Each structure stands twice: as C-alpha cells, then as structure tokens.
Amino acid sequence: MGERKASGPEHEFPQELVDHIMDYYHADHETLRKFALVSREWLPTARFHLFHTVQVPANYDRVVSLADAPDAVRPLVQHLKIGVSKGWFDMPRSTPISLDNILSAVYRFPNLRTLLVGYMARLDGELVPATALSPPPLRLKALKLQSIHVQAHHLNILHELVQRLGSIEELEVSDLQVGPWGNPYDYPLALASQGQKVRLKKFSSGLRPMENHTEHFLDGLATIVDVSALEELSFRCDGVAHPLFSSAINASSTSLKVLSVKELEKFLFEVADDKLLQYDLSNCHALESLNLAVRDLGPFQVCILNTLARIPPPSALSSILITVHVGQLFTMMSEPALLAHLISAVDRGHWESVGAMIRQRMPRLRSVDFHINHMVEDGFEATEVEEKLRSALKLPDACGLSFTYHHVGW
C-alpha cells in the first residue's frame, strides 16, 4: 500500500470555510488563541477577532500602555473600553487618568469606531494644549460615558473629550458621578467657542436632570453639539426635561426617527409650569419608533395618551414600546396583588382613547409592545390583563400586540 501523504491543517479546508467557522467564536478568546497557534493562514482571522474589542481597567498604567500597542494590532481594534467591571460589587479600584492619556490611546487606533469610558473611571484635570497632540483622521463614530467619576472643577474635561473626538455621530452619557467636593456652578464653563460643532445622529442620556451637575454638564454640551440632524434621541425626565432635549426635538423634527422618554409621567405632569419648556412633536413627521417608560399603568395612562396626541397625523410610526415599572425598588409584591393591581389599572380607562387615536392617526403602525417590569418571581404572566387591553385598544389586524414580563431582582 502506498504511504498517505500528511498534510497540515491549512490544506484540509478552504480558508473561507475556516474563517466562517472562526466567526462563531468571536467572543471566545480562549479558543481564538488556540486557533492563532494552528498555522500562519489561521492567524490573521484569529487576530481580527481577538483584537476587535479591547478592554482595560480604568487604571493609569494600563491606559498609558495602550499607546505602545504593536503596529500589527493597532488597525484591528474597532471598540475600546476603558473601565471594565464584572458587577457593582466587583469593581477594580481605578486610578486617575487624564484626557491626555485617553487621546493618546485613541489616536493609536486608526480604525476605532467606539470608545467607552466608564465604570468609575476617575478623570483628572490635566488638559492637553491644543498643539500637544495632532489628531489623525478619525473613524470614531460612538462615544459612551458610563459611571464616570469626576470632580466638580474638572467637569469640563468631558466637554473637552467630546470636542476633541469631533468625528463622533453617537453620544451616550449615563450615571455621572461628581464630587465629593465643590458645586459645579462655582466653576464657569470654559469651552472653546471657535471650531465646528460635533454633529450628532444619536444622543442618549440616562442622567437625572434634577441634579446640579447634570444641568451644568448639559448646559455645556448644548454649546458644542449640533442636534439638527438627530435620528435617535433618548432621555429621562425625573421631574423636568433639560432644554437641550426640547431644542433637540424641535431642531431635528424632519430627521428624528426614534424617540425614547423615560419616567414620562414626571415630565408631563411638570410641564404645566410655565417656567418649563415643553417638547413639541407637531412637526415630527419622520418619527418611526416611540418608546415610553412610565412608573405605573394606572394613574399615568393619560401621559401616554397626551404624548400620542402630539404626534401629527398621518403618522409614520411603525412601532410603539411601552415599558411599565410596577412597584418600588426593594418592595416585594405578591403575584395575586400584582395581578389585581394591573387589572385595576386597565379598568381605569383611557385605553379606549389610545386605541381610537392609533386607528385614526397611525395607519403605518405595525406593533404595540408592553414590557412589564415587576418584583415577583420569574414566570409571572397576566393573561387577563392582556385580554382586557386587547379588547380596549381594538387595534387593526395589521398591528400586532405583544406582552413581555421582566423580573427585576434586588
């Protein structure tokens, strides 16, 4: 018998098939490292997945080390996360990092698309002179600031970061921690008035407008961003909506496609005060998706009705998502009590009016989805509530109605 010729793994399968298989292990770094050791042909694809997203803790030494990334790796990084946590009780201790450190790292990755700075990353006030770093052409499209810790007198660092990364089209800000010393209003905004504004297509804010540092941050942000071409806007009310959101809706009325409002009930009850600005949806003819979050189905149904009434007919809306938070945090409710509460809320009315408005003004609507967040055990469903809502809304046959239940743990 003739001797079989041994062949390496690279000869057994077409490289296109190997690449396709490796795609399934995109987030499995342990397996990808093994793939990288198989052959030279397998290395580029394995390396592409391994360095597609780079995560480092909010630690000075680790952030500085990013500037020394090998030339072979730098073009592969598309998403950079500075400040990584596995959970609230497992947060590594962060050390102060400066704007200089962040920009030096970002400028090393020419194909970077997303930058996330978060999870208690502590920013200090060492701003870089305008001539110190010469930014290359950036492909960065998204900046996400999550759980940032900054002193009140250094709050402008965040504005400076947004300005320096002028190519971004998406900005997300949530859970800004300021302190523990100083009132942000004791430190006037010192933003560069010259230069082109950052033109956003997507803006998401999870900040609480009632807090001083939030208002101060948004005041400064309003002077450096252009929201006239927004396609997606998400914000929370918490008693009052910042004028930035009202002006964003008005300025982007012809382009805005997705609008998300959290804690809607607080905003609509407060806008009766003449001192507060109302948002105007009367010119939002391009709006396709509306996401509303309320504290309860019962007393706040009128908020949903009033919001829908502000959308001009015939509306281009294709989907409505209503998220309902039932009960208070850390307050347990039995399953029978929750069911009785929801039934009582639906029986209070207004849903017939909501259904009539949908039938008359929203001919393109294809889905109405209810997400019920509750504190009872998993597996809870409220079939009786669903039937009552179906009967009250009387949606057209072309429009689906769905219900999803989320257990909110401690």
Q: What is the pLDDT of residue 37?
A: 81
Does 282 score more than 50 pLDDT?
yes
Domain positions in the chain are 51-234, 257-275+283-410
Q: What is the pLDDT of residue 84?
A: 64
Does 280 score more than 70 pLDDT?
yes
Mean pLDDT of the residues in the chain: 79
Q: Inter-axis angle of helices 156-164 and 212-222, to 10 degrees?
A: 30
Express each pLDDT in 25-46 by its tens digit: 777 888 888 888 888 888 888 8
Express each pLDDT in 128-158 by its tens digit: 554 455 666 678 999 999 888 887 777 788 8
Q: What is the pLDDT of residue 92?
A: 52
CA torsion angle for 181, 209, 115, 36 (degrees, to 10)? Answer: 100
* Mean of pLDDT values over 176-188: 59
Q: What is the pLDDT of residue 135?
A: 66
Which of the four pLDDT bands, split at 50, 70 and 90, describes residue 290? very high
Does 93 score more than 70 pLDDT?
no
Which string of DSSP letters, residue by residue, matches 207-248?
Answer: --TTSHHHHHHHHHHHTTEE-TT-SEEEEE-TT---HHHHHH
Express each pLDDT in 227-270 by its tens digit: 999 999 998 876 566 788 888 988 898 999 999 988 765 554 44
Q: What is the pLDDT of residue 87?
A: 52
The H or E element that residue 338 is part of is helix 335-347
Does 200 score more than 90 pLDDT?
yes
CA distances from 48 to 44, 55, 369 (A): 6, 15, 38
Q: How far apart are CA 380 and CA 169, in angstroms?
A: 40
Q: How far apart are CA 201 and CA 227, in angstroms?
A: 7
> pTM for the full model?
0.84
Q: What is the pLDDT of residue 104?
A: 84
CA distances from 186 to 96, 123, 149, 243, 288 (A): 22, 19, 18, 21, 42
**Percent of the chain surpassing pLDDT 90:** 21
Express each pLDDT in 294-312 by its tens digit: 877 766 677 787 788 888 8
Nearest to 376 by CA among 399, 350, 352, 409: 409
- Of 207-211, 269-273, 276-280, 286-290, the one with minimum mean pLDDT is 269-273
Which of the four pLDDT bands, split at 50, 70 and 90, describes residue 6? very low
SS3 144: strand
Check if the beta carbon of residue 202 is closer than 8 Å to that of residue 173: no
Which of the four pLDDT bands, split at 50, 70 and 90, describes residue 224? very high
Express each pLDDT in 329-357 by its tens digit: 445 667 788 888 888 878 877 788 889 98
Which single residue is written with the structure tokens 């970061």? 161
Check if the beta carbon of residue 74 is closer than 8 Å to that of residue 109: yes
Which of the four pLDDT bands, split at 50, 70 and 90, describes residue 4? very low
Check if the beta carbon of residue 294 is closer than 8 Å to that of residue 238: no
Q: What is the pLDDT of residue 50?
A: 85
Q: What is the pLDDT of residue 240?
A: 61
CATH number 3.40.50 given to 51-234: no
Q: What is the pLDDT of residue 202?
A: 97
Higher pLDDT, 284 or 276: 284
